[in-house]
Homo-oligomer: A and B are copies of this chain.
């Protein structure tokens, strides 16, 4: 049994300038906090989320036993990121679909649902919005900022946008930018959504429909790339869904892996917002701190003052270990303090969300060392 988590909301009336040149005002951020802020306001840990996650990082909602937070195995009382010691903050990003202002909400000027008119948000914009939330919570400097995948990009960006506000950055299964192949997979997912006749140029809400076909395809592609080839072979292999005989059909489910993908993608299309999918994959595509430094990551990371822990997983082909090593190298070039672990795990990109004794043990020691520092 986990502890009870309580979602909160903060309203921000003032306009937040965005990287695109646009701005957004009168927005809400959904967030949760676990543990107690200490008297020095020094033990705060911000957790940044990836594509399909939210502010609900740990614990369960009262009366909903199956509502466990997405990183509940890592964060909580007595867990590697120990909420008996740290004040942990989870925040849902702008443009997401789990409580913070997003494309499904009304524009404050017109009262009409944003839809495709929701401004394009970037990792840097999210970090700015998170910083404003911390301001409201009275937190100046973070003991740590922590995230996996796209969340790791936010953690890295924090150290560049607010170097003086981050003591430690824990960047898990992440990358300094997406490869062409990553962008390509995102683009296929986006095309599947955008070309679904139920998308209506992003204004499907007013038509009372949802581009579920596109969302399903997007989710299937995501799922394949989150898992490793080995894990899929071990878990599904060439196992048939029913019996031992082939049905010889091009449209019916034949293999177990097909059944799994259809089930997962159906579930996803029931709750995820299509415009959010576009926005978040674009934020992934755009993130590239080296871009304004002529592609030189070492120069881009010179601003960072934090100490770093980077973690990658051997079978993660979406955010491969070599991408983490690029960040490590650039930080070392700048003589920053960096720890790096490459965990030999079979689970592909998903490994960052799963239990692995070496991984959780490492996180536990790292956060224990932060505790000692804070005393």
Contact = CB atoms under 8 A, between A and B. Distances in A.
A184 B225 CA distance: 10
Assembly stoichiometry (copies): 2
A185 interface: yes
A120 B223 CA distance: 28
A21 to B, nearest CB: 8
Interface stretch (A230-238, A332-340, A355-363): A230-238
Given A116-B251, A224-B185, A191 B217 contact: yes
A341 interface: no
Interface string A181-213: 101110110111011110000100000000001
Given A183-B255, A248-B120, A217 B233 contact: no
A150 B211 CA distance: 34
A233 B191 contact: no
Contact of A183 (B196, B258, B317): B258
A32 interface: no
A146 interface: no
A82 interface: no
A238 B288 contact: yes
A288 B214 CA distance: 31
Contacts of A191: 216-217, 220, 262, 265
A261 B188 contact: yes
B220 A188 contact: yes
A110 interface: no
Interface in A26-70: none
Contact of A180 (B233, B246, B291): B233
Contact of A190 (B190, B250, B291): B250
A278 B257 contact: no
A368 interface: no
Contacts of A232: 179-181, 184
29 contacts: A20-B248, A116-B250, A120-B248, A177-B238, A179-B232, A179-B233, A180-B238, A180-B255, A181-B233, A183-B255, A183-B258, A184-B232, A184-B257, A184-B261, A187-B255, A187-B258, A188-B217, A188-B224, A190-B250, A191-B216, A191-B262, A191-B265, A197-B197, A202-B251, A221-B221, A238-B288, A250-B275, A254-B282, A254-B285
Given A20-B246, A250-B279, 16 more contacts: A19-B248, A177-B238, A179-B232, A179-B233, A181-B224, A184-B220, A184-B224, A188-B217, A188-B224, A188-B261, A196-B213, A197-B197, A202-B251, A249-B282, A254-B285, A317-B317
Interface of A: 19-22, 116, 120, 177-181, 183-185, 187-188, 190-192, 194-197, 202, 213, 216-217, 220-221, 223-224, 227, 229, 232-233, 235-238, 246, 248-251, 254-255, 257-258, 261-262, 265, 275, 278-279, 281-282, 285-286, 288, 291, 317
